[in-house]
Structure 1
Amino acid sequence: MKESRIVIPREHGGWAMLAVPYMIGTMAVQPILLHVPLFLAWLLLYLASYPLLQALKKGSRQRSWIRWGIGYGAAAVIMLIPVVLQEPWLFGYAPVLLLFIMVNIWHVLRKKERALFNDICAILLFCTGGAAAYMLGGGGLDAGLAAVVLLNFLYFTGTALFVKSVFRERKNRRYTYYSKAYHAVILLVPFLLGYPWLTLAFLFPLARALVLSGKVIKPMKVGILEIAGAVQFLVLAIIFLHM
């Protein structure tokens, strides 16, 4: 990577986890103007996290990573200022985010970034974006907030299991079983939450898991499947959370 090239994360799953929970949280209530700078701050914090975590690995580009991370972080703070001035309660999310970030740092320092527990913590971190968007739009600590967080968490945890079953854990037959069983069981959750039609949003991931878990698949195809799955989940969640 050249020194002048813009530093951005390349993981399809990371971009989906950044945007989808936030958009679902926003559309589950009343979108307002402050949702825009809050999302931009959320985006910039995500962009900052990538080079700063890379810097922990040291190497010849460490100073460059740090500069990019500080730059993105400073821009995120600027975007946050108008939001927190009007909604100071958002500072309450800081300890939660810090906790999940510390877990991520711990795994990076031990070169275990791909551990399932680290993935789960990262998913929970991204789900806080959906929670913040929901509460910013007038939602409270209610069933709607629980649905936004839980449904996003369940969807992306299933994605993490599927991806592991076709890449790093492809030869581990247990992950193939975990992926298929997990996607079948979570079909019950929308019924339990009172959103039965949202079961439709989990049918595509179930079909993907049943047909492809444990198979040899090209990364490009997995990326396309991730994007397609995230888009259909986003659209159906926005529609059926209002029913």
Structure 2
Amino acid sequence: MTSQTGTGPRSAPATGARVGRPASPRRRAVRRFVPPQHGAWAMLLLPWLAGVLTVGFRWPHLPLLVAWLSGYLLSYYLLLAVKTRRPERFRGQLTVYAIPTVLLGGLVVAAVPSLLWYAPCYALLLAVNVGYAARRDERALLNDLASVVQSCLMVFVCATIAHVPPAGVTVAFVTLLAYLAGTVLYVKTMIRERDSIGYRRASITFHLLTAAGMFLLNPIVGAGFLLLAARAWALPGRQLKPVHVGVIEIGASLLVLLATVIS
């Protein structure tokens, strides 16, 4: 799965060092096996946390989390191999992350076989990612949104493990889907499309419409989305550094998680 702030494999993981500062073996190993996609972690953890906190923890949720994270890392290097057309370059990463993904994913499916119903959805969405990676156009908006849907489906997966019907987590799913889709637009206005008036208007409009819809769904969630709309209107154009954008989104993610759980 790709990330919301840097969807897909933007470039090969850095293996070199800064001039005059040779990288330690440990740092080189981290750069080789951990992708520089910091925004992806919130996108991965938020739906899992929302799902578990909504339906209650069951033991398969823990191996599911590890398989989910290792599966993201596996997909990152898989898409990078597709993009660069050099799969042999990433054989080590693919092997390392395939093992826990298959073993722990298999354990979860063995415990809850009905999870296999989600396989076609994830396969289709991953195919979208692969297609954009092959075209080297992984920054496309549709590719970002496909990754958002992949992430949000985890809410339903967590519910299925707890034998909770989809209706029991629909509000959580819709809330996270609206938040992450809006964040795709917002982050583009802060980094990749910071000079695009069209993207800025689209982001503000989406956030305002979403806030209005969320008020109808749940006033508590709606109030949180008003704050998100305010940040989508006020922050673009202020030349914030990516690290500052990330810190703000950590706070926004926690706000959305809190509103989702208490609503």
Same fold, TM-score > 0.5, yes or no:
yes
- Which residue in the other structure is 2:139 paired with? 114
- Give the drift of 1:204: 3.0
- Is residue 2:229 matched to residue 1:203? no
- Which residue in the other structure is 2:58 paired with? 32
Q: 2 CA distance for matches of 1:214 and 1:138?
A: 46
**2:44 aligned counterpart, secondary structure:** helix
- Which residue in the other structure is 1:52 paired with? 78
The structure 1 residue matched to 2:130, chosen from 85, 102, 105, is 105
How many matched pairs?
237
* Cα deviation 1:38-68 (Å, max 9, x = unaligned): 11111110111111111113377x4242321
Q: 1 CA distance for matches of 2:150 and 2:98?
A: 17
Q: Which moved more, 1:63-72 or 1:115-124?
A: 63-72
Q: Within 5 Å, give how 1:140-219 maps onto structure 2.
A: 140-142=165-167, 144-193=168-217, 195-219=218-242
**2:36 aligned counterpart, secondary structure:** coil
Q: CA contact under 8 A between 1:131 and 1:148: conserved in structure 2?
A: no
Q: 1 CA distance for matches of 2:34 and 2:232?
A: 29
* Amino acid aligned to 1:13: G
Structure 1 residue ranges, 4+ long, deviating more than 6 angstroms after superposition:
none
**Relative to 1, partners in 2 of residues 1:59 and 1:110: Cα closer, same or farther, differing over 3 Å?**
closer
- Which residue in the other structure is 1:235 paired with? 258
- Which residue in the other structure is 2:40 paired with? 14
How big is the alpha-carbon RMSD for the aligned residues of Structure 1 and Structure 2? 1.8
**Relative to 1, partners in 2 of residues 1:159 and 1:136: Cα closer, same or farther, differing over 3 Å?**
same
- Give the drift of 1:200: 2.8
- Which residue in the other structure is 2:7 paired with? none
* Cα deviation 1:7-51 (Å, max 9, x = unaligned): 123223211111101110111112111111111111110111111
Q: Which moved more, 1:154-163 or 1:49-58?
A: 49-58
Q: CA contact under 8 A between 1:176 and 1:214: conserved in structure 2?
A: no
Q: CA contact under 8 A between 2:125 and 2:150: conserved in structure 1?
A: yes
* Cα deviation 1:61-83 (Å, max 9, x = unaligned): x4242321232122111112332
- Give the drift of 1:158: 0.8
- Give the drift of 1:225: 1.3
- Which residue in the other structure is 1:86 paired with? 111
TM-score (norm 1): 0.90
Q: CA contact under 8 A between 1:16 and 1:227: conserved in structure 2?
A: yes
Q: CA contact under 8 A between 1:41 and 1:77: conserved in structure 2?
A: yes
* Cα deviation 1:182-214 (Å, max 9, x = unaligned): 111111222333x22111332332121110124
* Cα deviation 1:74-105 (Å, max 9, x = unaligned): 21111123321121011111111010000001
Q: 2 CA distance for matches of 1:153 and 1:134?
A: 16
Q: Percent identity?
A: 32
Q: CA contact under 8 A between 1:18 and 1:43: conserved in structure 2?
A: yes
* Structure 1 residue ranges without an equivalent (≥5): none
* Cα deviation 1:102-158 (Å, max 9, x = unaligned): 00011111111111111111100111112101221221132x332222111100011
Q: 2 CA distance for matches of 1:145 and 1:239?
A: 13
Q: 1 CA distance for matches of 2:85 and 2:163?
A: 46
The structure 1 residue matched to 2:69, chosen from 35, 43, 59, is 43
Q: 1 CA distance for matches of 2:260 and 2:35?
A: 26
* Structure 2 residue ranges without an equivalent (≥5): 1-13, 16-27
Q: CA contact under 8 A between 2:186 and 2:203: conserved in structure 1?
A: yes
Q: CA contact under 8 A between 2:60 and 2:111: conserved in structure 1?
A: no
Q: 2 CA distance for matches of 1:82 and 1:57?
A: 31
* Amino acid aligned to 2:36: R
